[in-house]
Amino acid sequence: MKKLICLFMILGAAWRLTAQITPAVAVLPTEDLVTQIFGKNKESLLNDFLKISPLEERAFQSAFLEYETEKSPWLTERIALLKMYNEEFSSIDEKKMNSLTRQFINNDLEFGRLQMRYFRKFNKLLGATRAAKFFQLDNYLEQSTRVYLQNQLPFIKELESDKLAKPLTAR
């Protein structure tokens, strides 16, 4: 039961990203958000963090570009789902909510499979520790961009509950 509650909280947080995305935020690609948040692009952050040697640089850049290219459709789908939710936020019904929830979960599963495939590649290229560090930073940047957007958005049905003016109390 606790896992189910946590899952719904996580999904709620993900959907919160879409509830009121401002046009300025909605059009920013993930790379622009990373630069805006951290002051460097993702590749620079990774090079600094992983201490890529000149001998590894060409192979790393190739693998990184390949990973980002394969990751792009996942991000595009996630953004499309968020936009769909955003457009239908005020009138979304149970059937559509069920469908969107399943699509978000499948999207996350696909991303996990993509990361597993590339972990094997980066493991061969950089060794297990630096491959783990790569995905630690990649996940950190992904979560940071989600949080950045999420802080601007209400939770599902939060707008309707605000009309009732019932304050939340801690127990």
- Which of 37-51, 66-80, 85-99 bottoms out in mean pLDDT, i.e. has the lowest? 85-99
* Burial grade of 170 (CB within 10 A; 0-12, 13-18, 19 or more): exposed
Structure confidence at residue 104 (pLDDT): 87
Structure confidence at residue 162 (pLDDT): 54
Q: Which of 43-47, 68-72, 91-95, 167-171 has the highest mean pLDDT?
A: 68-72
Mean pLDDT across the stretch 61-86? 87
Mean pLDDT across the stretch 63-74? 93
3-state secondary structure the chain: CHHHHHHHHHHHHHHHHHHCCCHHHHCCCHHHHHHHHHCCCHHHHHHHHHCCCHHHHHHHHHHHHHHHHHHHHHHHHHHHHHHHHHHHHHHCCHHHHHHHHHHHHHHHHHHHHHHHHHHHHHHHHHCHHHHHHHHHHHHHHHHHHHHHHHCCCCCCCHHHHHHHCCCCCCC
Structure confidence at residue 157 (pLDDT): 64
pLDDT at residue 165 is higher than 80: no
pLDDT digits (tens, 9 = 90+) for 21-50: 333 334 345 667 778 877 888 888 888 889
pLDDT digits (tens, 9 = 90+) for 116-129: 999 999 999 999 99
The tokens describing 95, both together, are 């059937």
Yes or no: say if 131 and 122 are a contact pair by the CB < 8 Å rule: yes
Give, in order, the Cα–Cα distances in Å from 103 to each of 48, 79, 85, 128: 35, 12, 11, 31
Query: Half-sphere exposure (CA, 13 Å, Cβ side) for 157?
Result: 7
pLDDT digits (tens, 9 = 90+) for 97-115: 889 889 989 999 999 999 9
pTM of the model: 0.67
